[in-house]
Amino acid sequence: MNRSHSPSAIVEQVDEAAPSSPTSNKPSKQLNPALILLSIVFMALAFTYFVDSGQFERKDIAVIPGSYQTLEKDSGLSQLFSVEPRTANAEAARPVSLTEAFMAIPQGIEKRAGLIFMVLFIGGMFGVLNKAGAIDAGLERVLGLTKGNIYVLVPCLMLVFSAGSTFMGLAKEFILIVPLMVAMANRLGLPNIIGLAIVAISVKVGYLGSITNPVALAVAQPLVGVPMFSGLDMRVASYFTFLVVGIAFVLLSIRRHGFDSTAQFDFKQSRLHPRHAANLMLLALGVAFLVYASNRWHWKYPELSAYYLALSMVFAVVAGIGASEAAGAFVDGMKKVLMAGVLIGLATAVEIILSTGQVLDTIVNHLSELVGEHGPLVSAFGMFFAQLGLDVLIPSTSGQAAVTMPIFGPLGQLSGVTPQTTVYAFLLGNGLTNLITPTSSGLLVLLATAQVGWGQWARFIWPLLLAFTAIALALLSIAVLIGY
């Protein structure tokens, strides 16, 4: 087996060998995710005309319950073509014009520039590693040692990845892992989406459980007056329940895609070339140090981007790749994830339009009516479904907690829902929608890195989303009944 083959070359060989296979990639039949997001941008624009504008008063980032006020607004269609600059602190609200809607797209790219460049640099770094042949050689070694038994590899990998999310709130750190999992799937004759699922489902399971996830719990629990990280029992039960179902789903998907178990013993187990071994060791140490630095020094996107760039240079030196060749490989790697920048900008444009038209707080206020005083079980379900819907508009976990917890906490107590169950409903609703919402920059980055379209992912993940929803409702019912 030639170790100089890149994972992308392997994908092309698989597609050429089986053009009629249902697992072959057929980009021509997939709806471009940019078009999906662009349609959501215009839906957000329409919201600013047909939904009342209003706002809550806020203390720091948390809304003040009962402070919602409707704002006066001229929703005439003449506003659609307005070019008049929007004045800050205007007494009357105004819907978003076409000009502002289009401007929101480059503004979204500018707002998320740090994230976009980080993703591009990650793509470049793996371009260098692929050029060095380290990933291909490492995968051959791992698959050889395990005899290619993916039924052993998948559960172990998903347990490790989900543990990082549920205990430490890791998410963006796993972008590094996606190309490795995609390459592993390709090596076993499986499509990119299987490699993506191993990572994406693990991360989402971790957030659904959120045993000690600081990203979610550090905001949500204090806002409803419960100690941070309290109420472990139900979250531990959730984590293991969702993890078992998630692993089973991935393994069943592997069988459905026609994984040939007789081919799993064809991998060599020869020793790694010293340059390959050194680069793979550096990659493992680099990921470990990244997790430490992100938590210890709170690295943001600029620091992370610089880190990936520095790692790329080290990988090139260790592999003995010339400067020009390494630069070319870095640029080629960036090209593969370039679409991610556009998608992130479009997703952020939705948030900008809703904020500019001042309709987001109105939507939150109306959804709070689902909770009302309907008894604890109905109110808890109302919170869950409200969080499901809001996650499309507020894909940030901490941002959604800051908006909803101060409102749903008091409403839940009036209906007999404990504060801990209110947080639990938030975790379940937020985690579920993040599996599929097209406005989540985190999901879009994973899709772009794996080169999987949103439509393809939505069709793949839909059965699991339905199963997870049924499990979530059952667990939420138990939480209400036991007074969690």
Confidence at 27, pLDDT banded by 50, 70, 90? very low
Write down the mean pLDDT value for the chain.
82
Confidence at 160, pLDDT banded by 50, 70, 90? confident
Confidence at 390, pLDDT banded by 50, 70, 90? confident
Whether the CA torsion 474, 477, 482, 483 is positive or negative: it is positive
pLDDT at 2: 38
Contacts of 137 (CB under 8 A, 6+ apart): 3, 272, 273, 276, 280
Q: Taking each helix axis as running N to C, give the angle between helix 419-433 and helix 192-209, from 0 to 180 degrees, rounded to the nearest 10.
A: 170
pLDDT at 291: 74
Asked whether 148 and 265 are in contact (CB, 8 A), the reply is yes
CA nearest neighbour of 484 among 431, 434, 428: 428
Distance CA 70, CA 62 (A): 19
Confidence at 106, pLDDT banded by 50, 70, 90? very high
Query: Based on the number of CB atoms within 10 Å of its own CB, is 391 exposed (0-12), middle (13-18) or buried (19 or more)?
Result: buried
Distance CA 48, CA 55 (A): 13
Q: Which residues of 462-482 are buried (b: 16+ CB within 10 A; e: fewer)?
A: eebeeebbebbeebbeebbee
Domain containing 306: what range? 30-65+96-481
Percentage of residues of the chain with pLDDT beyond 90: 26
What is the count of structural domains for the chain?
1
Q: Is the pLDDT of residue 31 over 70?
A: no
Domain assignment of residue 57, yes or no:
yes
Structure tokens at 477: 């019912």
* Residue bearing tokens 């550090």: 218
Distance CA 398, CA 400 (A): 5
Q: Is the pLDDT of residue 193 over 80?
A: yes
CA nearest neighbour of 422 among 389, 467, 387, 468: 387
Domain assignment of residue 275, yes or no:
yes
Domain assignment of residue 11, yes or no:
no
Number of Cβ within 10 Å of residue 76's Cβ equals 10
Domain assignment of residue 25, yes or no:
no
Asked whether 250 and 194 are in contact (CB, 8 A), the reply is yes
Identify residue 89 by its one-letter amino acid code: N
* Overall average pLDDT of the 352-378 stretch: 81
Query: Based on the number of CB atoms within 10 Å of its own CB, is 159 exposed (0-12), middle (13-18) or buried (19 or more)?
Result: middle
pLDDT at 261: 55
Domain assignment of residue 82, yes or no:
no
Structure tokens at 378: 């109905």
* Overall average pLDDT of the 124-133 stretch: 86
CA angle 313, 314, 316 (to 5 degrees): 65
Number of Cβ within 10 Å of residue 272's Cβ equals 17
Least trusted range by pLDDT, from 41-45, 84-88, 292-296, 429-433: 84-88
* Overall average pLDDT of the 352-373 stretch: 81
Q: Is the pLDDT of residue 17 over 50?
A: no
Domain assignment of residue 6, yes or no:
no
Q: Is the pLDDT of residue 4 over 60?
A: no
Check residues 220 and 6 and name the one with the higher pLDDT. 220
CA nearest neighbour of 184 among 215, 211, 144, 214: 144
Distance CA 357, CA 160 (A): 42
Q: Is the pLDDT of residue 447 over 70?
A: yes
pLDDT at 147: 67
* pTM, entire model: 0.74
Asked whether 86 and 100 are in contact (CB, 8 A), the reply is yes
* Overall average pLDDT of the 434-459 stretch: 86
Domain assignment of residue 118, yes or no:
yes
pLDDT at 91: 62
SS (H, E, C) the chain: CCCCCCHHHHHHHHHHHCCCCCCCCCHHHCCCHHHHHHHHHHHHHHHHHHCCCEECCEECCEECCCCCEECCECCCHHHHHCCCCCCCCCCCECCCCHHHHHHHHHHHHHHCHHHHHHHHHHHHHHHHHHHHCHHHHHHHHHHHHCCCCHHHHHHHHHHHHHHHHHHHCCCHHHHHCHHHHHHHHHHCCCCHHHHHHHHHHHHHHHHHHCCCCHHHHHHHHHHCCCCCCCCHHHHHHHHHHHHHHHHHHHHHHHHHCCCCHHHCCCCCCCCCCHHHHHHHHHHHHHHHHHHHHHHHCCCCHHHHHHHHHHHHHHHHHHHCCCHHHHHHHHHHHHHHCHHHHHHHHHHHHHHHHHHHCCCHHHHHHHHHHHCCCCCHHHHHHHHHHHHHHHHHHCCCHHHHHHHHHHHHHHHHHHCCCCHHHHHHHHHHHHHHHCCCCCCCHHHHHHHHHHCCCHHHHHHHHHHHHHHHHHHHHHHHHHHHHCCC
Domain assignment of residue 253, yes or no:
yes
